[in-house]
Amino acid sequence: MFCGKCGAENDGNSMFCKNCGAPLTQVRKAQGAKIVPKSDSFDGGNSAESSAAPIKLPKLSPKIIGAVFAAIAALLVIIAIAVNASMTININKYLKIKTEGVDGYGKASVEVDWDAIEEKYGTRLEFTKKGQSEYGGFAGLMKPVEGVIDAVDIKVDPTSKLSNGDEVKYTIKVNEELSECVNCKIKAKDGTYKVSGLAEVEKFDAFADVNLVYSGIAPNGHAELEYNGEELSSHNYRIENNNGLSNGDKVKVTIDEDFIDAYAEEHGKAPETLEKEYTVEGLSSFVAKISEITDEGLSSMKSQAEDVFKARAAQNYGEGEELKSLDYIGDYLLTAKGNSGNYNYLYLVYKAEIHNSYKTYDKVNEVYWYTAFRNLMTDGEGKLVVDTNSYDIPSHRVEIDSKVSSGWFGTKSWYYYGFASMNDLYKEVVTTKIDAYNHEDNINGDEAPTISDSEAKGEGNADYLLPNSDKELISEDDLEGFDAEKCKLARNEIYARHGRKFKDEELQSYFDAKEWYEGTIDPDDFNEESLSETEIKNKDTIVKYEEEKGFR
């Protein structure tokens, strides 16, 4: 085929002239004819060839030319679509889910074969203008496939403690912003993977060689773990609550799961269970109830208490004094409410009958006595543990006045350590410690005190702090536990009974609230001589106590 414009010969399938680029028409060389190329100069007809008549080429219509250009455009679109289709990277085709380990402790991970992606697309991948802006100077140091890697984020759930048959879910997120940094499209789809091929794991009892050792005294016992096996070590176990223990408490021992994962993977075996509960036993404990005191232990304490009393009687009794009887009438058990210095006290209570004879005096006097043992415990086998050589006895004294003249100096009198009544002993043993200790009473019904805790403390008795301070002498023991404010009120209570008013507004307000109080005498008009000798001594006792405690 020849070009109608320049006459150059072209391939029969060409659409454009390879010489001048003009569109080609179906013009063929006639038999014995010659196509004369167009020229701007002629030889004036001297040439033999110039005498030949030129062949006229048909003109192409605009419709034909338009159709040709439309076909070309369509072809270019098809080519572009084909190129773009080949630059869509489907991540799922290169995704690999990997599981390893043993059944029950398998692990899952995900990989993308980026090498295969680079091999297929690497020569055609390049950074876009946005990619060059995003990575800046690093764009020249990076491969475009690294931009694709940055845009893809893959997660697997779960990744550990897998068993055969478990389903693993993977999610693929494509960062749209980063995906525009390279000249390709990134395609991805979430999916699931069923675990298989994990090796069977051998199970063993990880607690067969574990032993808990308990020490200390309940409720502050302590647990330690001993391990005598070969599979693991004591460091692989953890005791969740190993302090503040009492007999019967539950202690849980666990094994670190992260360690077991690695252990199972390395050795192909794992514990049947990762935790076990133990019951605390064998701890010594402080006695909390009288019922916990064994007969043998009580007998030992009674023997010591009676020996102590009789030894003192032998040392201190003089002529005319004889111990007629010493009878055990019960006990009080005090247990600490908080962190007191001693956890418990057991007061063994006795009634002693002492025969006294002096001239015309011949009587049997009764004295109530106690011997107290502290910090009683039971060992792990339920046996009572107590130091019977450590005990407390009364410092309070009972004075006996024979009313028999002893000469120029009055009447003959003597005293015994103890209490004149069970009420007095109860105040000393129980009431003064009521704020710090609970108490359990085990006293013979005939000898039980006739007052309650509140009565012993002065509560409910016309609302007095010291209900008998107007007629009975008090001791510093009666003030035990009083703070500065309470001492001040008790001291002025003596004056308030006589109707004295107070300049101190708080004192006046306090006594105005008492039903028994009738303030009738102004402070400046009050006469100290209106106080009895007993009241004056009681006031002085309170003042002395305040000075000793540093309250004044």
Output the pLDDT for position 468.
86
Output the pLDDT for position 29.
43
Give the bridge partners for 95, in sequence order: 112
pLDDT band for position 36 (50/70/90)?
Answer: very low
Output the pLDDT for position 223.
95
Asked whether the predicted pLDDT for residue 72 surpasses 80, the reply is no
| Average pLDDT rounded to a whole number, residues 507-524 | 90
pLDDT tens figures, 366-396: 999 999 999 999 988 889 999 999 999 999 9
Q: How many CA atoms lie within 13 A of 124 on its CB side?
A: 14
| Average pLDDT rounded to a whole number, residues 524-533 | 91
CA distance 294 to 304: 16
Asked whether the predicted pLDDT for residue 232 surpasses 50, the reply is yes
| Average pLDDT rounded to a whole number, residues 507-515 | 89
Asked whether the predicted pLDDT for residue 53 surpasses 60, the reply is no
Q: Where are the domains of the chain?
A: 1-85, 88-194, 202-286, 287-457, 463-552
Is 347:383 a contact under the CB 8 Å cutoff?
no
Contacts made by residues 398-404, CB under 8 angstroms, sequence distance 24+: 398/365, 398/367, 400/356, 400/365, 402/356, 402/358, 402/359, 402/361, 403/361, 404/358, 404/359, 404/360, 404/361
Output the pLDDT for position 39.
41
| Average pLDDT rounded to a whole number, residues 506-515 | 89
pLDDT tens figures, 405-464: 887 778 888 899 999 999 999 999 999 888 889 999 999 988 888 766 655 555 545 578
Output the pLDDT for position 456.
58
- Please give the residue that has the higher pLDDT: either 10 or 352: 352
- 139: number of Cβ within 10 Å: 17
Mean pLDDT over all residues of the chain?
85
Output the pLDDT for position 3.
74
pLDDT band for position 41 (50/70/90)?
Answer: very low
Q: The tokens 């109707």 sit on which residue?
A: 499
Contacts of 290 (CB under 8 A, 6+ apart): 331, 333, 440, 442
What is the SS3 assignment for 201?
A: coil
Asked whether the predicted pLDDT for residue 299 surpasses 90, the reply is yes
CATH of domain 463-552: 1.20.58.1690
| Average pLDDT rounded to a whole number, residues 504-518 | 89
Output the pLDDT for position 59.
57
Tokens of 294: 């064994």
CA distance 471 to 427: 18
Lowest-confidence segment of 263-272, 368-377, 527-536 by average pLDDT = 263-272
Output the pLDDT for position 253.
97
Output the pLDDT for position 15.
66
Output the pLDDT for position 58.
56
- 362: number of Cβ within 10 Å: 11
Asked whether the predicted pLDDT for residue 86 surpasses 90, the reply is no
- Please give the residue that has the higher pLDDT: either 396 or 14: 396
- 291: number of Cβ within 10 Å: 10
Output the pLDDT for position 60.
56
How large a percentage of the chain has pLDDT more than 70? 84
Output the pLDDT for position 89.
95
Q: Phi then psi for 397, rounded to 5 degrees?
A: -125, 150
Output the pLDDT for position 1.
66
- Please give the residue that has the higher pLDDT: either 84 or 299: 299
pLDDT tens figures, 99-123: 888 888 888 999 999 999 999 998 8
Q: How many CA atoms lie within 13 A of 502 on its CB side?
A: 21
CA distance 113 to 96: 8
Contacts of 348 (CB under 8 A, 6+ apart): 301, 302, 305, 328, 331, 370, 371, 372, 373
Nearest to 286 by CA among 375, 220, 175: 375
SS3 readout for 327-341: EEEEEEEEEECCCCC
| Average pLDDT rounded to a whole number, residues 19-24 | 70
Output the pLDDT for position 380.
82
Is 208:215 a contact under the CB 8 Å cutoff?
no
Nearest to 165 by CA among 126, 203, 197, 123: 197
Asked whether the predicted pLDDT for residue 38 surpasses 50, the reply is no
Output the pLDDT for position 61.
64
Instruction: Say what the pTM is.
Output: 0.49
Is 219:245 a contact under the CB 8 Å cutoff?
yes
Asked whether the predicted pLDDT for residue 34 surpasses 70, the reply is no
CA distance 494 to 528: 11
